[in-house]
Chains A and B, each alone.
Chain A
């Protein structure tokens, strides 16, 4: 139900109340019903005695008094009340129907509005979640990239250091290799090696240095 219907119903009810009040006011104030005939002036009324007034006027006064006596007024009041109640009942029914329809439409409207609002909010919420997710992914990606770079840097540094250390160890090993191998050989063979076993080696070494030994012996002697 639209607003026009409500206004019409309300206006009808007010009009009916106004009609009832008007009739009631007319009953309580009978002199107010003679606006058409100009009232005689005070001087003229004073001039004419009752006996001198016309007969029609007298009879009219009697009819009026008869018409608007208490019983008639009570009857009219009852009729008005019944009519008013009838109009109120009809309008109340219409009003109820309209109100129910309005309530239904209002519920639909509210439901639609709430749904739309919720959908918008959900969309905003989803967008916020998507944005936050994207930001988190970007952040994670940046962190992963940074960690990967750091890892590669550290790997390179560690490889460089390990290579340098390895080269240093190898260089030291090579420079001391003879002593190291000699040490290991002696540890391995210990006292088992006899000079008799070394004789061949010694003679070979002497043979290798034979020329120098002879030269030095000749020079010395």
Chain B
């Protein structure tokens, strides 16, 4: 299994979910077919070939991050195989926000997950406006409510104390000051 190799594959944070990996795989297939086409065209110069072989930033980063050269067929095949394994075997985590998260937020969360939970975690991002603030994380068997409301519920005794203190201060500010 590729994921268990000693030389670990680095999945860049720009690759968020299965859709991104599938996109990379399609791009690799396209690149492979383009290279096959270019092999027969000897009239093209090297610069023209480089222009035709232009890839997306995500694929370039993925290849560069793992020291693969996309011009080399074996590297492309390895990359394709690894990405396929990741797509099929990597753990999926569903995360919901109240609004569409920015790439910065997604990458930050994904970096944390890949650094602390699993190296190849893939995210499936959803929307739940009722969350208001925070997020809800759903792993294969559990749901983690990381919203602000859940945080308030956990801190209910502390909130009650805060409200009582505020009420007492409002009723008798002089007495509260003395205390």
B135 within 8 A of A: yes
Q: How far is the CB of B47 from chain A (nearest CB, A)?
A: 41
> A174's closest neighbor in chain B, by CB?
B160
> B89's closest neighbor in chain A, by CB?
A221
Cβ proximity bits B112-140 to A, threshold 8 Å, 1 near / 0 not = 11001110010000000000111101011
B105 within 8 A of A: yes
Of the residues B91, B93, B102, contact of A195 by C-beta under 8 Å:
B102
Of the residues B134, B139, B159, contact of A217 by C-beta under 8 Å:
B139
Q: Report B-chain residues with C-beta under 8 Å of the C-beta of A213.
A: 93, 113, 117, 137, 139, 142, 144
**Distance, CA A17 to CA B98, complexed state (A):** 145
**Distance, CA A219 to CA B91, complexed state (A):** 10
- A residues sitting closer than 8 Å to B (CB atoms) are 174, 177-179, 181-182, 185-186, 193, 195-196, 198-199, 201-203, 205-207, 209-210, 212-214, 216-217, 219-221
Contacts A/B (CB < 8 Å), 21 sampled: A177-B152, A178-B152, A178-B153, A181-B159, A182-B147, A195-B99, A198-B133, A199-B108, A201-B148, A202-B109, A202-B134, A202-B135, A205-B134, A205-B146, A206-B146, A210-B116, A214-B116, A214-B117, A217-B139, A220-B140, A221-B118
Instruction: Please list the 10 inter-chain residue pairs (A to B) with the smallest Cβ-Cβ separation, ordered nearest first.
Output: A220-B140, A178-B152, A205-B146, A178-B153, A216-B139, A182-B149, A216-B142, A195-B105, A186-B132, A217-B91
